[in-house]
Amino acid sequence: MKEKNATALSRREFVRRTGALAAVCALPGASSAESAPGAPTLDPAKLQRFVDPLPRPEIARPAGVRRDPRNPAEELPYYRMVMGEFEARVHRDLEPTRMWGFNGLSPGPVIEARSGKGVLVEWANELPQRHLFTIDHNLMGAERDKPDVRSVVHLHGAKAPPESDGYPESWFVAGKSSLCHYPNRQDACMLWYHDHAMGINRLNIYAGLLGLYMVRDQFEDALGLPHGEHEVPLVLCDRRFTVDGQLSYDVSPVPSAPWIPEFYGNATLVNGKLFPYLEVEPTLYRFRVLNGSNAQFFNLSLSTGQPIAQIGTDQGLLSAPAPAKIVSLAPGERADLAIDFSGAGGQELTLKIGAVEEILQFRVARSGAHIGNLPGRLPEKLRPVVPLAESAAVRTRLLTLNEYKSPKGESMTMLLGGAHWDMPVSETPELDTVEIWSLINLTEDVHPIHLHLVRMQILDRRSFDKLHYFVNGELRFIGPPMPPDPGEAGWKDTVRAHPQMVTRIIARFEGYAGRYVWHCHILEHEDNEMMRPFEVLPRGRA
């Protein structure tokens, strides 16, 4: 959505759009060092910048092969990913940070798979018995009778059977594990895996339980895009630290409800480092970018002002490169970006968030040893994106995004369709049918809405009269429909629903019948019931 077409912005939304990281905290008076009460908060501006090299996420290696549970005659690569606690140095001048991750890393190792070739992943919980952060036992699924430390892993964007999708209530405790089957029957794209435990998801991901998963295919290979050392994953996460380098997470000043509406950090980790640098050659590079933050929206740009070519989004390549001076990413969204350093030999430039914060430095060599083996420019055409026809939809659903404040205003609840998590399932699409979901945002926030199992296309966004809707229960549009931005005009699995607008998405519910979820990917919202189950019914059962 273009800025000139935006409706009136709330203060929180203004912060997100401008990228001002520290302009607002979740609630006045919130503790600044929950993990170490009384400890002062680190001012990242006082750290020396660009002294640590950018880490490249490790590639996971199979631990062997096992038989496909759905087809015992076939053997599949088997990975074992262990969730545990470890220490990592996020900056040269800070003490090691205690965090959680996979196989001793955060972000965890990258799992690489081929389209149509399944893999098995055993997610093993070897976390400690005590959580790093305060748990709000008032939240659904986080009651006092539940273990404080538990996890279940969701492969975000995967077309996976329901038993391998990471259902929020299917958590398991330390000493237990879960074996998941990922068939990878989808186009090349970058997915990501992360914790999805009911009621504490925001805390587990903030502690470090996330990583990348690459699906590759022959079509993408044939395009000759930058690869190997010239393809760089970038996992961006905002965090807050104490001066001794430990993670700090805000709690509410209301003792009875430690939950806060959103968390915003004042420092940005890039592949687990603060202010790293990357040495590059003067040629074309491909950057696979994830916004792994709890609530922070990122507006990415280069210090030189040169355009960044977006070549893909959540679920794979766009039909053609989409150059932009600013690339915006909501929590959970991914962007496939290309940056041409050929005209910057011998220079230093930075990747920025908003107008001022520089998070990654590029040190461009004067010449490169391998440039002759690389493409000098992007293809004009990438992967065709065939629009789903609205006429193919068998149903259109009107679904509200709601926010309710408590009588005294000290807390709030976020809901989808005005329904709590434990109410009966209301969305029951039939397998292999197409539906249009109209997301009616009645709040003042942008909500990144993620549907499990399916990929979607954005049809349009349109402003409506919110007061008229509240009074009369009907939509009265006050602006023309606006198409998605060029960088959104592909296959998505997470869509930004803007305030006082109806965002229409269209999807085919294909792959598997069973129970899945859809939710806001602002993790604090998700943990406070802005998440609902949906049931894909077998054909003929709807």
Q: Residue 48: is its pLDDT beyond 70?
A: yes
Lowest mean per-residue pLDDT among 279-293, 365-379, 417-431: 365-379
CB atoms within 10 A of CB 42: 24
* pLDDT band at residue 345 using 50, 70 and 90 as cut-offs: very high
Q: Residue 319: is its pLDDT beyond 80?
A: yes
The CATH fold of domain 44-219:
Immunoglobulin-like (2.60.40)
pLDDT given for residue 371 in this prediction: 56
The CATH number of 3-24+227-373 is 2.60.40.420
pLDDT given for residue 21 in this prediction: 27
**What is the average pLDDT across 358-377?**
79
* pLDDT band at residue 295 using 50, 70 and 90 as cut-offs: very high
193-204: string of b/e by CB count within 10 Å (b at 16+)?
bbbbbbbbbbbb
Q: Residue 365: is its pLDDT beyond 50?
A: yes
266-293: string of b/e by CB count within 10 Å (b at 16+)?
bbbbbbbbbbbbbebbbbbbbbbbbbbb
Dihedral angle at the C-alpha atoms of 140, 145, 150, 151, nearest 10 degrees?
-30
Q: Name the percent of the chain lying above pLDDT 70.
A: 90
Give the CATH class of 390-536. Answer: mainly beta
Q: Is 95 exposed, middle or buried (0-12, 13-18, 19+ CB in 10 A)?
A: middle
Does residue 35 or residue 438 have the better pLDDT? 438
Q: For residue 105, which amino acid is it? A: L
To which residue do tokens 């629903």 refer?
497
Q: For residue 177, which amino acid is it? A: S
pLDDT, mean over the chain: 91
Q: Name the percent of the chain lying above pLDDT 90.
A: 84
Q: Residue 29: is its pLDDT beyond 90?
A: no
**What is the average pLDDT across 235-247?**
97
pLDDT given for residue 252 in this prediction: 81
Pinpoint the residues of the chain covered by CATH 2.60.40.420.
3-24+227-373, 44-219, 390-536
